[in-house]
Homo-oligomer: A and B are copies of this chain.
Amino acid sequence: MPLLPDLPDLGGLVFSAGGGAEGLAFADALLSLFILFLAAKVGEEVFRRINQPGVIGELLGGFIVGPFALGLADVTITAEVFAELGVVILLFTVGLEVRIDDLIAVGPMALAVGAIGFILPIIAGIGIGLAIGEDILPAALIGLALAATSIGITSRVLSEMGVLDRAFSRVILGAAIVDDILALLAIGVLSGFAEGSLGPETLVTLVAGLAFVGIGLALAPLGRRLPRKVFVWPKFADTPVVPVFIIMFAGALLAQFVGLAAIIGAFVVGLMVAETPVREEVEHGFRPLLGIFAPFFFAVTGAHIDMSALLDPQLLIIVLVLTVMGVLTKLVGGVAGSLRLGRWNAIVVGLGMSPRGEVGIVVAALGLSLGLIGGEIYAVLLAAVILTTLVAPVMLQWAIPKATRDERHHGGGPAARAA
């Protein structure tokens, strides 16, 4: 292994695994990781000292050292992998905090929030797309890019504010699953239309996605019967951390394999482990892993921020319209779907569904590769997606205290929590 890449005269060094370029790429990957991590933590520190959400600081820290600003850190594939594991571990630990029965109890509400919040942005996107002179398919793609929620940022805010046990948090998490399954279906259908072939694969993918989530949720309650020794039977395991890490990683890969987001798989595994007697031990052991991996997710997300579309006044207007519509439609979806929780709780649900993040970017990139949209619309979508991601934590930090006060006002925790 290239342990000494900075030695003098190592120019043409051939490692067993590759060429000199690999040695340099290795050194770059390692240094970039360090810079991204440090930037995330410094950013978080600054924002928390001024009483703003730490996650925004992490995003901006990544942006500042990333390729679209100072260029101190490269977003290497290695950094992407750390980021992915970061959000996978984040959603796994969120799953650990959620009781499966509580999640199923909010099922109908989550279904309503997810579905309404998915359809409204598509309608709004189609409207805006047609208004700026696009055809129906490109317009639908614009809508779809605004439809898919990314739960990473919201999870972090909910966890930071200690409200993961609230009903609104569970509705958001349940709705995110609904949202991801709808995205899976919609992306398949749109790709099929664009290529003129709506094959049975779309149906297969949908069934596989539903089966994954369904089987996971159905199996979870069985965890209650598992004794601790099931998790520590391997000789290499003094604690359940390593075995559970393997299961979480496998769940994430499996979800990705059937077409869902890896984080949905990790979340479902988290739900399952939450039912077992090792929950607290795993939660404790995963805290350092979360502390080391999760900042990469936020820093790398920040390093992807390319705001070049904002420099053109005409595009800027479209970006702002899309952003406002993006937040508003999710807000309406959240409020309409979960009004029973009380006004402020429902608002938090809507705001929590607002960040689009990486799923929106993937949809926009898909549109670009299918030839549905050009570079300008791509840049516009990217900027709008990023803005929804930056705006949400600030609004959540403002709305959550009102929601928790509201809840206490209406007769308090346990009852509202069971809703």
* Chain A interface residues (CB < 8 Å from chain B): 1-17, 20, 22, 25-27, 29-31, 33-34, 37-38, 41, 44-45, 48-49, 54, 75-78, 80-81, 83-84, 187-188, 191, 195, 201-202, 205, 234-236, 239, 241-242, 245-246, 249-250, 253, 256-257, 259, 261-263, 285-289, 291-292, 300-301, 304, 306, 358-359, 361-362, 365-366, 368-370, 382
Contact = CB atoms under 8 A, between A and B. Distances in A.
A6 B236 contact: no
Contacts of A2: 80, 362
Contacts of A262: 3
Given A3-B358, A6-B257, A235-B48, A81 B41 contact: no
Given A30-B81, A54-B235, A76-B77, 15 more contacts: A1-B358, A1-B361, A3-B358, A6-B256, A6-B257, A7-B362, A8-B259, A9-B366, A12-B369, A17-B75, A37-B249, A38-B246, A48-B236, A242-B292, A289-B289
Contacts of A253: 30-31, 34
A194 to B, nearest CB: 8
A17 B81 contact: no
Contacts of A285: 287-288
B242 A81 contact: no
B234 A16 contact: no
Contacts of A45: 234-236
Contacts of A16: 304, 306, 361, 365, 382
Which one of A30, A234, A366 has the highest number of Cβ atoms from chain B below 10 Å of its Cβ?
A: A30
Q: How many chain copies does the complex carry?
A: 2
Given A3-B261, A48-B235, A81-B29, A369 B291 contact: no
Given A34-B249, A38-B246, A245-B292, A77 B25 contact: yes
A242 B8 contact: no
A26 to B, nearest CB: 5
B14 A369 contact: yes
Nearest to A291: B242
A370 B49 CA distance: 53
A166 to B, nearest CB: 21
A15 B8 CA distance: 36
Which one of A7, A191, A202 has the highest number of Cβ atoms from chain B below 10 Å of its Cβ?
A: A7
B9 A191 contact: yes
A203 to B, nearest CB: 11
A1 B259 contact: no
Contacts of A49: 235
Nearest to A67: B17
Contacts of A5: 256
B288 A17 contact: no
A4 B261 contact: yes
Contact of A304 (B1, B31, B80, B359): B1
